[in-house]
Amino acid sequence: MTEEKKTIVTEEKRTIAAGEKKAIVTGGSRGIGRGIVLELAARGYQVVFSYNTDQGAAEKVTEEVRSKYHRKCTFFQASFQNKGAGEEFFHKAVDCLGGLDVLVNNAGVTRFESLTELKAETLEFLVQLDFMNYIRMMQSAACYMKEHGIRGSIVNITSSRGERAYPGDGIYGGCKAALNRAIESFALDLAPYGIRVNNVAPGSIQVRQPEELSGKRSFMIEVYRQLGQKVPLGRMGTPEDIAKAAAFLASEDASYITGVTLRVDGGLILPGMPERQVDANSPWGQY
């Protein structure tokens, strides 16, 4: 066989192998989750994702995946603030895919309340959705991968707020900080089975598509522009930025990386988010 034919055969095998990979993404109907679903599909994954309330948005994502990338893509409704919802969704997703190589935990909500105004329902809601469900989903995926001898990958979307404190984000930021620490131990738990666990920590991300920023939301265009100027790299992050980082950590290119939290924030928290502008030449400085 000639070297040229060997190369063609090798590329075909790689394409087939990529096409057989299967991924679960939570919260994949919009924003960062949508970006992750599309990026994984572009890389040859079959994807099952969850949505919470907007079925129409979920349908649009599946149509885009099928038309652009011709990959299997399905969704199920899941409200992860309810105990047991994560495990139920996981089993439906695995059954639909017929296997699992990658889990991306993305579904979550940001809520701000100061300690003196913190409501019990907010505390329970955030801890369940932004921490407990992540743990339970990771556990389900890890047990499945271990049982089936899959050297898979788990990626969680956390936040730069897990490292940098702001007023009112004690519970949300605390959940993300706990997740950053927890995966370090989980990485050690799963390393003997070849299963890797990592986090991606976004900074300020423009989660709304341009077409969504009309009417009552049009003011957000200027908000995003002004906030982007305060980021050291000079712009807001995009769902695609986070999706590419998550896909990298899930891939064989990151096969020697586990237990890390990769910050993807354009340098946002290096100097600290600004409380007020120092001067025109240093828009991100903070007193």
Catalytic residues: 172
Cβ atoms of 201 and 180 closer than 8 Å? yes
Cβ atoms of 200 and 249 closer than 8 Å? yes
CA dihedral 131, 179, 187, 240 (to 10 degrees): 90
* d(C-alpha 205, C-alpha 251), whole Å: 23
* d(C-alpha 159, C-alpha 162), whole Å: 6
Q: If DSSP codes are grouped into helix, strand and coil, which group holds residue 122?
A: helix
| Residue closest to 61 by CA, chosen among 230, 257, 209 | 209
* d(C-alpha 113, C-alpha 173), whole Å: 11
Structure tokens that stand for 275 in this block: 């409380």
Contacts of 194 (CB under 8 A, 6+ apart): 151
Instruction: Report how far apart, in Å, the C-alpha atoms of 193 and of each of 87, 211, 227, 263 are.
Output: 21, 44, 43, 26
* d(C-alpha 172, C-alpha 202), whole Å: 14
Q: What are phi and psi of 218, to 5 degrees?
A: -60, -25
Cβ atoms of 24 and 94 closer than 8 Å? yes
CA dihedral 263, 83, 136, 240 (to 10 degrees): -30
